[in-house]
């Protein structure tokens, strides 16, 4: 139901891994926060490459939780890729588009699936994996109230 889904997804998360063709990057090379509270979300992702290039993704938008579905969309933000040579790419962000993820339970995991698996969130305990076409892209860990203190930040 909506209350169970809301409890499973709402909160503050730290990015524990950014997966790509070269493996998993972790802080300080890849870091991020994802905050979902009261129908509003903020997402910040940073990734630094060995060649000096970096990606910065800063987005905000709204979401809705209802029985059997999670829907969200970006209202504002930026996605920048700064190349080692100083050039900057600005990938298109689908502002105004709303994506509806259908919820289903798979054992102890809640799966939120969009467009027959083009994108998916898998929620298991305090971890959320974000996948595209079945491949994990990001792993998020729910932040505890005092996590910043226990991590020494």
The per-residue pLDDT for range 31-43, each reduced to its tens digit, is 999 999 999 999 9
Q: What is the CA radius of gyration of the chain?
A: 16
Write the pLDDT tens digit of every residue in 61-112. Answer: 999 999 999 999 999 999 999 999 999 999 988 888 999 999 999 999 999 9
Give tens-digit pLDDT for 124-147: 999 999 999 999 999 999 997 544
Mean pLDDT within 39-59: 96
Angle subtended at Cα 124 by Cα 59 and Cα 150, rounded to the nearest 5 degrees? 70
The whole-angstrom distance between residue 139's C-alpha and the CA centroid of its chain comes to 8
**Residue 145: its pLDDT value, please?**
52
Distance between CA atoms of residues 16 and 105, nearest Å: 24
This prediction has a pTM of 0.88
Query: Of 116, 106, 103, which is closest to residue 3 (Cα–Cα)?
Result: 103
């Amino acid at each position: 139901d909506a209350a169970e889904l809301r409890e499973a997804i709402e909160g503050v998360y730290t990015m524990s891994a950014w997966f790509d063709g070269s493996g998993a990057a972790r802080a300080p090379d890849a870091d991020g926060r994802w905050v979902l509270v009261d129908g509003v979300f903020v997402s910040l992702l940073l990734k630094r490459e060995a060649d000096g290039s970096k990606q910065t993704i800063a987005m905000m938008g709204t979401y809705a939780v209802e029985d059997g579905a999670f829907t969200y969309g970006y209202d504002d933000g930026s996605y920048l890729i700064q190349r080692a040579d100083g050039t900057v790419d600005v990938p298109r962000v689908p502002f105004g588009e709303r994506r509806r993820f259908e919820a289903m339970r798979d054992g102890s995991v809640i799966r939120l699936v969009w467009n027959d698996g083009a994108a998916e969130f898998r929620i298991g305990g305090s971890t959320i994996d974000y996948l595209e076409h079945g491949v994990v892209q990001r792993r998020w860990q729910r932040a505890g109230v005092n996590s910043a203190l226990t991590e020494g930040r």
